Structure 1
Amino acid sequence: MPKINGNEIRPGNVLEHDGGLWAAVKVDHVKPGKGGAFAQVELKNLRDGRKLNERFRSADKVERVRLEQKDMQFLYEDAGQLIFMDTDTYDQVQLEADILGERRPFLQDGMTILVEFYDAEALNATLPQKVTCKIVETEPVVKGQTAANSFKPAILDNGVRVMVPPFVGTDEEIIVNTETMEYAERA
């Protein structure tokens, strides 16, 4: 595994630190008036979800880990576990349901998800960037309400509340960006 300097850490990097696997969530490069510059890094443990704030000077060496990525199909949820299947080998993998956090409602049956592995251990899952959802409830269209940035609340078929443009109505399908959890376009 390659070693990188402390000032080369970027958000999303996976590091081996203190005997565990940590993902860099937020990185701030600080140059105080006195002393050397350093990177203030917020780390999240990939196995148990603990968070840690750590300082890395440019002279510090950290082990950067490359995770193997596989596309897997979501099958079902059972007792707080999400079950995924490799479509090539039909192997099944379990991950905690809370690994997706607030994006969990966007997971749909049969959806293809990117699962990251370290050796044979599944550590993380990433939803597709855009997901198609149906609007079940929103306010009716009001004529003349065409201001540049006017949005109205809408409730999707998965229970998530998003803001949509005024021309979008009930029973329409829209595409939602899962990273920002915002309306992207009509389906």
Structure 2
Amino acid sequence: MISAGDFKNGITLEVDGKVVQIVEFQHVKPGKGAAFVRTKLKDVINGGFIERTFRPTEKFPQARIERVDMQYLYTDGDLYNFMNVENYDQIALNKETIGDSLKFVKENEMVKVCSYNGNVFAIDPPLFVELAITETEPGFKGDTAQGATKPATVETGAQVNVPLFLNEGDVIKIDTRTGEYLSRV
């Protein structure tokens, strides 16, 4: 049990039957009245945000989120197949569970499968991936305006804005959280 007075960013709790993660918190001591804790919570199952206040003495059970390293194998229609590399167990997840978290992940790459009480609710891709550009317009000599970009399609089919000097076949590093180009490899 964690009391509201001991909240820290990133802690996962069960509040009103929902599994939430603390994004922000602030201890408030008004001039009049009792102190309270103002929080911004993220529902880890559906991704929504909730703002709530708690008394510092309120207690909540800590939620146990299990994160397992698994290899993304292949897609079969609307099912995405993953394998635990330690015991070779395989699971298939539907498109609603996956969302667009595999937008920058190639087959046979490692991801983290997040579950709560045995129910998978999210896939965490690696923070950075290296992908080849499969389609982009050629850059023209003289197009050197500062920060100019052009759209490019990478080998997973995702669109990324890249600098003008990059061409098809170039391998680039991408931040999967923002979908931004970082550097050429």
Regarding TM over 0.5, the answer is: yes
Native 8 Å contact 1:97 1:104 kept in 2: no
Deviation at 1:176, TM superposition (A): 1.2
Moved more, 162-171 or 89-98: 89-98
**In structure 2, what is the Cα distance between the partners aligned to 1:143 and 1:79?**
43
User: How far off its partner does 1:37 sit?
Assistant: 4.4
Q: What is residue 97 of structure 1 aligned with on the other side?
A: 95
* Structure 1 residues 63 and 164: CA distance shift in structure 2, 3 A: same
Distance 1:45 1:120 in 2: 14
Amino acid at match of 1:64: Q
Within-5 A mapping of 1:141-152? 141-152=139-150
Paired residues for 1:1-187 under 5 Å: 2-5=1-4, 8-10=7-9, 12-24=10-22, 26-27=23-24, 29=26, 36-46=35-45, 49=46, 51=48, 53-57=50-54, 58-78=56-76, 80-187=78-185
Unpaired runs of 5+ residues, structure 2, are: none
Say whether the 8 Å CA contact 1:173–1:186 is kept in structure 2.
Answer: yes
Moved over 6 A (4+): none
Relative to the length of structure 2, the TM-score reads 0.78
Percent of aligned positions that are identical: 30
Q: Secondary structure at the match of 1:104?
A: coil
> By how many angstroms is 1:68 displaced?
3.1
Q: 1:54: how far off?
A: 4.2
SS at match of 2:39: strand
CA distance in 2, matches of 1:20, 1:154: 40
Secondary structure of 1:64's aligned partner: coil
Kept after mapping to 2: 8 A contact 1:132/1:173? yes
Backbone CA RMSD of aligned residues: 2.9
Offset of residue 81 of structure 1: 3.4
Give the counterpart letter for 2:52 in structure 1.
Answer: R
* Matched position secondary structure for 2:61: strand
Q: Give the aligned length.
A: 182
Equivalent position SS for 2:101: helix
Cα shift readout 1:32-59 (whole Å, capped 9, x = no counterpart): 977544323233242xx27362413233
CA distance in 2, matches of 1:166, 1:52: 37
Q: Report if the CA contact (8 A) 1:93-1:122 is conserved.
A: no
- Contact 2:8-2:25 at 8 Å conserved across structures: no
Q: Structure 1-normalised TM-score?
A: 0.78
Q: How far apart in 2 are the matches of 1:156 and 1:6?
A: 47
